[in-house]
């Protein structure tokens, strides 16, 4: 059997946690930051867990993770 390929976009965006969760970065923090308030930009810091409804889809994109 041929090996399954990991989606290259997914491997750049998601990391697995030791507890089994998948962490992701916040969106809306790349550009056009001048019109966003400091409070909004501050709340976009850090990482979040992938929502439970999307976990199955992300795991399918990362078969060996």
Strand, coil or helix: 2: coil
Query: What are the tens digits of pLDDT across the range 1-34?
Result: 899 999 999 999 999 999 999 999 999 999 999 9
- Nearest residue to 14 via CA among 41, 65, 3, 38: 65
CB count in 10 Å sphere of residue 5: 9
Predicted model pTM: 0.82
CB 65 within 8 A of CB 10: no
Lookup result for tokens 């501050």: 42
- Report CA Rg, the chain: 15
């Amino acid at each position: 059997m041929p090996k399954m390929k990991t989606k290259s976009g997914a491997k750049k965006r998601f990391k697995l946690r030791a507890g089994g969760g998948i962490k992701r970065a916040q969106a809306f923090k790349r550009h056009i930051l001048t019109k966003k308030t400091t409070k909004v930009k501050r709340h976009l810091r850090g990482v979040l867990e992938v929502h439970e409804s999307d976990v199955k889809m992300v795991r399918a994109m990362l078969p060996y993770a």
